Structure 1
Amino acid sequence: MSSERKGQLTSARMVDAMLDSIQSHGYAGTGINTVLAQAKAPRGSMYFHFPGGKEELGEQAIGKAAKQFQQLIADVTADAAGPGQLVTRIVEALIGLLVESDYALGCPVSVVTLEMGTHSDRLRTACATTYESWIAPVADYLMSAGHTADRARDLAETTLSTLEGAIILSRAARDTRPLASAARVLGPLLDQHATSTSESE
């Protein structure tokens, strides 16, 4: 295996370890030594692969979380029968992640936003970019279901905000009810808006 390939694998393991730790312990609670140990990376790897230090590694971890949820949205929108089913399937996936982790894993982007949003413009920007990468495809899907661009955007932002809050409540209560409640409320609402918008045109 080439040294370049080894370096890529080491860097990827470090990003994975950083993301796991942020989800479980928060950004502030994540130590570089812990990340290196989990990634089985040499001590000198940190600044070799991430010259910007912990902030750059955190930025890369947020980027990976963004891609993971983008893929979930893409998979769901590919065959969802309507906006209500879209939300239901996203919530089902989130419930699965929470239960499988025994409520230890939450949204790493919300964690970093709350912890570092006022302290690191680099991380705040990464979080804002990630949220936009989740809102935009949902808004596009809602537009395809008959919503105007402005309404689709409003509903997409409201949906993401509601699900983020529901994840936090579910983790606190160790109960998926808040997420299930969000799906029950949002699903019919989005379907109703799509129907009324389409009928008015």
Structure 2
Amino acid sequence: MVETKGARTRLRLAESMLELIQRHGYSGTGLNTVVEHSGAPKGSLYFHFPQGKEALGEKAVELAAARFGSLVADSAPASAAPADVLRHVIDELAKMLEGSDFQLGCPVSVVTLEMGAQSERLRDACADAFESWIEPVSELLVSHGRPRPDARALATAMVSMVEGAVIVSRAQRSTEPLRCAAQAIAVLLEPATEASA
């Protein structure tokens, strides 16, 4: 499929919003800064996002959700054990944190914390993003022998643990919290490994 110039501009604006949210938060990201950062024509923001900052923030959250979902999918070949998949995902997140000097965090958690009580639109976008991560992890666990209700609960706990570990890693400027999360997840997954052996 050939992307139009308009589609490329819309994506560029969303990518800039995403990166700026990661660095400065949602509230700390102004629309003029997004336009400048993206290099898009000034009039293009309201052309592509006529509902303004919330619509652009929603698109940035959707983009973040898709990228993390792709990371999980790319880490999960059919034969991979769930613990190995999550370990790979956590390794990639640790590289991202270190590569950004602990400046980039999860934009979905940032938007949730800042805007969850103020904007139903953004709260819903964040809830959908988290769900888009929980569901494939849950399905991975089911495919390795976990009963579906247990898999859902465990997937929710794992995504929550990783999200919290990213926040603590940024605060401590260390990937150690992420490494601890990986170890704890491996322990949580041990019964599934034994059950499917």
**Matched AA of 2:147:** T
- Aligned partner of 1:195 among 175, 193, 196: 193
**Matched AA of 1:66:** A
Q: What's the counterpart of residue 116 of structure 1?
A: 115
Instruction: Give the TM-score normalised by structure 2.
Output: 0.95
Structure 2: 5+ residue stretches without partners: none
Structure 1 CA distance for aligned equivalents of residues 80 and 73 of structure 2: 14
Structure 1 residue 5, shift from structure 2 partner: 2.3
Q: What's the counterpart of residue 173 of structure 1?
A: 172
Q: What's the counterpart of residue 33 of structure 1?
A: 32
Q: What's the counterpart of residue 10 of structure 1?
A: 9
**Matched AA of 1:118:** A
Structure 1 CA distance for aligned equivalents of residues 51 and 89 of structure 2: 34
Contact 1:147 1:193 in 2 (8 A): no
Structure 2 CA distance for aligned equivalents of residues 76 and 8 of structure 1: 28
Aligned with 1:78: secondary structure? coil
Structure 1 residue 188, shift from structure 2 partner: 2.8
Structure 1 residue 15, shift from structure 2 partner: 0.6
Aligned with 2:29: secondary structure? coil
Structure 1 CA distance for aligned equivalents of residues 86 and 9 of structure 2: 36
For the pair 1:65 / 2:64, whether they are aligned, the reply is yes
Structure 1 CA distance for aligned equivalents of residues 11 and 153 of structure 2: 35
Instruction: Give the TM-score normalised by structure 1.
Output: 0.93
Task: Please give the per-residue CA displacement for 1:20-41, whole angstroms capped at 9, x wherever unaligned.
Answer: 0000000000000000001112
Structure 1 residue 189, shift from structure 2 partner: 1.9
Alignment of 1:86-105 (within 5 A): 86-105=85-104
Structure 2 CA distance for aligned equivalents of residues 13 and 5 of structure 1: 12
Task: Please give the per-residue CA displacement for 1:156-179, whole angstroms capped at 9, x wherever unaligned.
Answer: 000001001100110001000000
Contact 1:109 1:127 in 2 (8 A): yes
Structure 1 residue 79, shift from structure 2 partner: 5.1
**Matched AA of 1:194:** A
Q: What's the counterpart of residue 73 of structure 2?
A: 74
Structure 1 residue 8, shift from structure 2 partner: 1.7
Structure 1 residue 77, shift from structure 2 partner: 1.2
For the pair 1:141 / 2:140, whether they are aligned, the reply is yes
- Aligned length, in residue pairs: 195
Structure 1 residue 182, shift from structure 2 partner: 0.7
Task: Please give the per-residue CA displacement for 1:104-163, whole angstroms capped at 9, x wherever unaligned.
Answer: 100000000000001000000000001000000000000111100010001100000100
Structure 2 CA distance for aligned equivalents of residues 121 and 7 of structure 1: 28
Measured on the aligned residues, the alpha-carbon RMSD in Å equals: 1.4
Structure 1 residue 47, shift from structure 2 partner: 1.2
Structure 2 CA distance for aligned equivalents of residues 19 and 119 of structure 1: 19
Structure 2 CA distance for aligned equivalents of residues 122 and 79 of structure 1: 35
Structure 1: 5+ residue stretches without partners: none
Structure 2 CA distance for aligned equivalents of residues 35 and 188 of structure 1: 42
